[in-house]
Amino acid sequence: MPTSYIYLAILLYTFGSSSILVQGVFQQQQKPLLPFSSPTAVSNSNISSPPQYGRFLHLTDIHMDDHYKVGATITSFCHRDPRKHKKKKARKGKLAGHWGTPTTDCDSAPHMVYHSIDWIAQEWKDKIDFVVWTGDNARHDTEPGKIRRSGREILEYNIKITGALQHAFKRADNSSVPIVPCIGNNDIHPHNLLTGPTDTGDSNPQLVVYSDIWRDLIPKDQVATFRHGGYFSVDVAQGIRILSLNTLYFFDSNTAVGRCDAYGEPGWDHIQWLQQALEQARSEGIKVYIMGHVPPTTKTFKRDCLHDYTRLALDYQDVIKAHFYGHANADHFQILHRYPKKKKHQHQRLARQQPMDDDDDDDYDNDDDDDDDDSNGGCGRGIGIRRSNMGRQLRKQYKKNLKRYNGINDLVVIHVAPPLLPVYNPGFRVNEYNVDPTSPRFGTWMKYTQWYTDLAHWNEQYAHGNTTPPSFQVEYTTDVDYEMKDLSPQSWLDLARLFVQKSPAAHSLWSNYLQNMVVQT
């Protein structure tokens, strides 16, 4: 990778959106950036390309940490060796493991990240149609006082992981499995904060940089859109389109942008684009999967952005087949409900960005929504502590929404996949969907299999001299473990209805769900 490019990126981060620097980026793009980059772009031309296996992967929240040190202390976030009593601590398993350190605040060891990508690709690249990859590739900013997380470091993780994925997911015939990225709140600098385009209409410099890092993954005709707003659409299989969202413009912790109901704000633009993209897909008879990093919830999204998102999700449920997200580091689904339409005077008031009253909707109480995020809006890892709390709140959310609202007419189901980062154990998901174009159920999400690897086991093996790298195994499947015949929104609401019943069978199913939330620990 040309270092000059990286330095340019640092300049961009340091000085913001100077048009001279942006121009510099465009000039730099003549040079290939990635060591593994392929000239073959994933583009709308893929619509006619075979094969159609009816499967796709979901990878999320890799959080690679180049400072990860095997044998380091947990209290140093796996960054530094202990001063003394190392052997004693090692015996007690209190030091960073070879393959990773689950149930701590340590991020991912790079050698495990590369191994996981290779393992997954080796197993699946010839059996899947595309990869959904929902962001947060860079480590958390765990020690801002000790190891500063710079814009350069964040970009380097994204460059390395993009390269590794492109290399690994190249098929024997040299074709590339389409990989669809999006930006996580830890993939930008500073953390959580992404501004919109400059006043003069220039593209956001960080988005320009990502458009180059992902230039083989973003269709050529979508590059301008991506540079403007960080979102794009891509046809990944016959009749299947992904809308990759930039949720940072909806994210409540992104204080660099305004609200979605204020004309001209990046979030407003994004909602307009989403609506147009859904309208277009409907007119073309194409089915859509929506993906993004931060899942829409009452805690994570700006309220009006959540209202708009929910409205579009319901208005276009004939087009949208599922909503795939990451960020929360726990395997679960959320149920969002319809909000009443705003009255005209409220629109005007909101456009002036005055504080919103609570009486314009019947939203949950504050204690009623998910608890998947920590208080500062980062990726709440909440190790082992929040499971029962989160479970309780989800159950309450399901119960209330199923009781108050009219099923799929009013409710939207949002899916959050667990991370490759070993918050618990590293995991990835293999999804299956209907690929029969003659079926009225074409594009319907049918099933998924959740995979994981037991890091405690592999670390122990390594400690005993067995250097075999970890392999992954099945944790659960939706058809067997939840007895779901398909993964349509109706089927998820039926499952939620089962969860909240008071019967031994319901209790057992719910316990199973809570266990799966934390990926076999």
> Where on the chain is the footprint of Zn ion (CB under 5 A)?
136, 184-185, 327, 379
Region for residue 174 given its phi and psi (left: phi exceeds 0; alpha: psi -120 to 50; beta: otherwise)? left
Nearer residue to Zn ion within complex by CB, 287 or 386 = 386
Give min distance, CB of 60 to Zn ion, in A.
9
Give min distance, CB of 140 to Zn ion, in A.
9
- Look up residue 402 and give its two tokens: 């199923």
Nearer residue to Zn ion within complex by CB, 176 or 329 = 329
332-337 and 411-416 as β-strands: parallel, antiparallel, unpaired? antiparallel
Q: Which of 411, 417, 437, 441 is nearest to 321 (CA)?
A: 441
Give min distance, CB of 378 to Zn ion, in A.
7
Reply yes or no: is the peptide bond before residue 422 cis, omega within 30 of 0: no
Nearer residue to Zn ion within complex by CB, 185 or 204 = 185
Nearer residue to Zn ion within complex by CB, 147 or 188 = 188
Give min distance, CB of 11 to Zn ion, in A.
26
CB 411 within 8 A of CB 387: no
CB 484 within 8 A of CB 432: no
Nearer residue to Zn ion within complex by CB, 136 or 212 = 136
- 10 Å Cβ neighbour count for 22? 18
The H or E element that residue 289 is part of is strand 287-291
What are the Cα distances from residue 308, in Å, to 126, 155, 230, 259, 262? 38, 31, 18, 11, 12
Nearer residue to Zn ion within complex by CB, 277 or 390 = 390
Say how far apart CA 321 and CA 445 lie, in whole Å: 7
Give min distance, CB of 192 to Zn ion, in A.
9
The H or E element that residue 4 is part of is helix 3-15
Alpha-carbon 270 to chain mean position? 17
CB 483 within 8 A of CB 500: no
Looking only at Cα atoms, what is the longest distance across the chain?
Answer: 70
Give min distance, CB of 306 to Zn ion, in A.
17
Give min distance, CB of 326 to Zn ion, in A.
7
Nearer residue to Zn ion within complex by CB, 62 or 493 = 62
Give min distance, CB of 134 to Zn ion, in A.
9
Nearer residue to Zn ion within complex by CB, 97 or 422 = 422
What are the Cα distances from residue 46, in Å, to 130, 237, 239, 368, 433? 11, 6, 10, 43, 18
What are the Cα distances from residue 96, in Å, to 10, 76, 91? 31, 10, 12
Give min distance, CB of 476 to Zn ion, in A.
24
Nearer residue to Zn ion within complex by CB, 184 or 219 = 184
Residues 6 or more apart from 132 whose CB is under 8 A from it?
Answer: 56, 57, 58, 59, 180, 242, 289, 291, 324, 431
Question: What's the start-to-end Cα distance of the chain, in Å?
Answer: 38
Nearer residue to Zn ion within complex by CB, 255 or 406 = 255
Nearer residue to Zn ion within complex by CB, 184 or 292 = 184
